[in-house]
Amino acid sequence: MPISLKGSERRKARVRKALKARAFGRPRLSVFRSDKNIYAQIIDDASGRTLAAASTIDKDVKASVKNGSTAEAAAAIGKLIAERGLKANVGEVIFDRGEYLFHGRVKALADAAREGGLQF
């Protein structure tokens, strides 16, 4: 009997399956958003390690961002993850939006990461 998944879990699995098919060894820029914050990680799936991470609960970001659930906060995290990714010698990633639509905060983070120098 197959395991039953919720709709959001099915979407996430569908997106990850498509990403793995076209990743070609590139690290994955994974995004998670909650009601109050947004988080981004660059993950090397081959070794299972996180190469860089940034979120709105980081001390340096929390002081400059009034509210962690806005598109402006997501853009700040996008710039920060690009900076930390380039410092970790990661220039090209594949974007994992997870279960979220490419809209709003997720799109703002992706656009700011591209402006910061990451290619995807």
CB 93 within 8 A of CB 29: yes
Model pLDDT for residues 96-114, shown as the tens digit of each residue: 999 999 999 999 999 999 9
In sequence order, the 6+-apart residues with CB closer than 8 A to the CB of 115 are 78, 79, 82
Residue 92 has pLDDT above 90, yes or no: yes
Q: According to CATH, what is the number of the domain 7-116?
A: 3.30.420.100
| Domain positions in the chain | 7-116
- In the numeric block, the tokens 């909650």 are attached to 34
The CB density around residue 12, as the number of other CB atoms within 10 Å, is 17
Q: What is the pLDDT of residues 10-47, one digit of tens each?
A: 999 999 899 888 889 899 999 999 999 999 999 999 99
pLDDT of residue 2: 60
Report the pLDDT value the prediction gives residue 1, as an integer from 0 to 100. Answer: 46
Contact between residue 64 and residue 76 where contact means Cβ atoms under 8 Å apart: yes
Q: What was the pLDDT predicted at 36?
A: 96
